[in-house]
Amino acid sequence: GIGYGGSCFPKDLDAFINISEKLGYNFELLKAAKEINQQQKFFFLNKIKDALWIIKDKNIGVLGLSFKPNTDDIRSAPSIDIVRLLQMEGAKIKVYDPCAMGKAKDVLDKVKFCQDPYDVCRGSDCLLILTEWDEFKELDFLKMKKLLKRPLIIDGRNIYDAEKMEKLGFTYIGIGRKG
């Protein structure tokens, strides 16, 4: 996926690394896990670049901002970093999250906060899935396809079945599997 976030796991990982160093042990496995987690955001960004070629001035829709479903917690959420990286590339971002929009408004600038997932799709050059909310699994895909400029979904959480999405006419790109 696009990596882990939240307030507990990243902090605990850093604490374990620090404790092991104080005890004279170089815990390479934990350091590698932390590094890989950071790299996943750039890996995902490269998938977007490969699919769109040019990100500048593209309208990119984002579903999910919280670091996990069923929370409004955006602390260390990979989605926030990904949105900022896309903005640095010149993208125009539209977002929707069932719970985290209020907190996201405090940390994200120049983002259009949408009323629902379909508003995110309307006129977007592609759609990114960044949090695996159950409600995103139950969307009307044919409606989404009509609203998107191009039926392109880049799924950072692998919530959809690739074969099903392709049969519906989407270009579907997941993480760590076909596409």
Question: Catalytic residue at 8?
Answer: yes
Using a 10 angstrom Cβ sphere, with 0-12 exposed, 13-18 middle and 19 or more buried, the burial of residue 168 is middle
List of residues 6+ apart from 98 with CB closer than 8 A? 133, 135
DSSP secondary structure code for residue 75 in this structure: T
Helix (H, G, I), strand (E, B) or coil at 173: strand
Query: How far apart (Å, rounded) are the C-alpha atoms in residues 5 and 75?
Result: 7
- Residue type for position 153: I
CA angle (84, 78, 125) in 5-degree steps: 55
Spot the catalytic one: 8, 99, 114, 126: 8
Cβ pair 77, 106 in contact under 8 A: no
Which letter, b or e, does each residue of 105-114 get, where b requires 16 or more Cβ atoms within 10 Å of its Cβ? eeebeebebb
List active site positions. 8
